[in-house]
Structure 1
Amino acid sequence: MAASSAIRTIISPGRYVQGKGALSRLGEFLAPLGKTPLLVSDDVVWGILGQRATDSLRAAQLPVTRERFGGIPTAAEVTRLVGVIDRTGADVIVALGGGSTMDAVKAAGFLAGIRWVTVPSVASTDAPTSALSVIYTADGAFEEYRFFPKNPDLVLMDTQLVADAPAAFLAAGVGDALATWLEARATRQAHANTMAGGLPTLAGTALAELSWGVIWDNALPALDAVRDHQVTPAVEKLVEANTLLSGLGFESGGLAAAHAIHNGLTAAHQTHGLAHGQKVNIGSVTQLVLEGAPTQEIRDFIEFTTRVGLPNTLTEVGLSVDDEDDLRRVAEAATVQGETIHNMPFPITPDELVSALKSIERFSRTVRSEAHLPAPVQYVAHQVDTH
């Protein structure tokens, strides 16, 4: 993925809004964008925030039309939503929920030629701000990225929703966001293109690095606050790092090995129920190994992510060092032509990736034992948010 020109670029959503109770102002911010909104959410999310969204739209004298999200952002689901847009005459589509909902809505909004808005119910990924969607197969395996010529017109993040959700969602967002700086610095070193379509700008790389620092300073107190359903300054900072800083940082700073390894892990059925950020964290640890990063840097990363509640061993994502066939499939999927692992400043073969994946098991166990941290156990796979 070496850059073919000296063009540098940064992209971003039209507007980002964050704060406690921000959902009550959804109608106010939607009104300038369209007069016939279509709200898309799954039944769980709608049960939690549907009434507040409805009240906000009605206060802004906007009609309320809600469509149920099918659960996985497949090509078929995107096509179905385009049909709903055509049938309802919607001029702006709104995703309420997690990254999977947002991926489907962004793709449908683009195909239908209307504006799109993201209203995350959790801070579990950096998907809300981006101009791309990840499309999966019906059984949850990565299929393709779809890129769009613009970002969402509005991202509205209610931090009370984040605080009311299980802390595991916020922890998963940390896993996704921690990769941002690791991948941006690799992209910069390789002089590779970013998802924004050019070389990284100073701003994009700086935002990626800023997200890293904010996370290390605020993740642990923020997670404790969310366990008590409280919104504190640490929560506000972590939500911004997980969502805005990481979103702009990954898209305009560059992706590398960590997210490619995530995509490869979707080829192993054992990982399908795990959160996007959980799998990305495996990718981050493995990228550090591939880089030959200083031992202390890897140790610190393993200790910190363990305290956050993220996996850093194969065991925790349902794999083992003896799963030769599965690990080979993961490695081959992560290194296919066009994958972001080729933004690394050196080539990586499937054999090298298999070795790196195997190596994190023993090393992470050793680090955790020496730091008196819990031994790895397999995470319970559940559909929290596959992207």
Structure 2
Amino acid sequence: MEESNEDDDIAGLLRDLAAGLDDRGDFDDSSSVLEPCAELLAIQKLVEENSKGLYPNCKKYTQLRFLIRLLHLKLLGGWTDRSFNLLLDLLNDALPEGSALPRSFHEPKKLVKSIGIGYNSIHACENDCILYWKVNSKLDSCPKCKVSCWKSIRKSHTYKVPRKVLRYFPIKKCLQRLFLSSKTASLTRWHDEGRKKDGLLRHPADSPLWLDFDEKHKEFAEDSRNIRLAFATDGFNPFRTMNVSYSVWPGICIPYNFPPSMCMKQSNFILSLLIPSRYGPGSDMDVYYEPLIDDLLDMFDNGVRTYDASKGEYFQLRAVVLWTITDHPGLGYTSSIQLGNGSKTCYMGHRRFLHEGHQFRFDADKFGSTEFRPAPIPLTGEEILDCTKDLCTVFGKDPSRKKPASKNLWIEMEGIQVNPEEALF
């Protein structure tokens, strides 16, 4: 587990965070009038908490520093909200009278969300036809499959429960936060200033695609702080048991500006989408990408005004997706073989890309056969568009399809019977 540095400059971090929201970014001048910005007011509250001790006469921890340490431990330890609440109860009972720790996780969660670290809930059609977003935001039923947006409506209240909800973490704010730390902000320029440029492939910046993109978009490449991203997605069962039919699909953006030692670290992954569902979205996945694509297009064309803590200046941050990391089920119909013992499917056609005299082409003992086929000729972008021009994409599933019995979707968590879709959030 990574140890936290007790000498972290919390006050400096708050100043940088404020500067990212306001040109002044300084709360020392009480005579100045702030714009009515909720995030700035939340930062002011953090500044006040950082000036108060955890309890009377406490010199080691401020309220804010101690709360940050607790939230960090919760993240590293994978604590549940309930276990965190129990710990807060114990600490509030053990600490001297006058301590200002919150009584439940709900309070720090509200504080974190108030400074822009949260997500937007976007209702979705149960059959993956549309998102109730933008022009569809006021609809109560899907215009394609006619299924209601709501799972239940309480007649005595105006409270409504949506059938499916997409959680979207605004990518603009996520990328802007990379520049609130002077250390992280300086590392976004590593691919240009710190990378060894000797023609060898050590980093995605050495790839022909990266170089070709910079050649075609010179204005984008002029500022090395502009972010190059990979986008990855895959489904998994969050309940660690395969007898519960449930699938969650996270969408993760990975910045490749950083050194190789950081690129694929979990702490460098940016969760941008979270699609909970009893069934995988399948070919309708594109529907859920709309908010992310909308923001990324705007960031590529126009950018977003961002404060760079390492240089103490504002600049127009832009971003682009250069790669995607996804499953390709269609490969199962190409050069694949099924192993006899484990029944695992392996794709052995990669030997076609070796030169004609390579020893692996003739090693039938290790690969099961010899390989004499030449490498396929890559298609150009125009050829791919010509092959796919007549494809007709229809989003949404047939609502009359037979679904698994809902009784199999209930599981037991901490002695309480809950439904997976309600247990996630």
Q: TM-score, normalised by structure 2?
A: 0.26
Higher relative contact order (CA 8 A, sep 6+): 1
- Which one has a bigger Cα radius of gyration? 2
Which one has the bigger strand percentage? 2
Q: TM-score, normalised by structure 1?
A: 0.28
Which one has the bigger helix percentage? 1
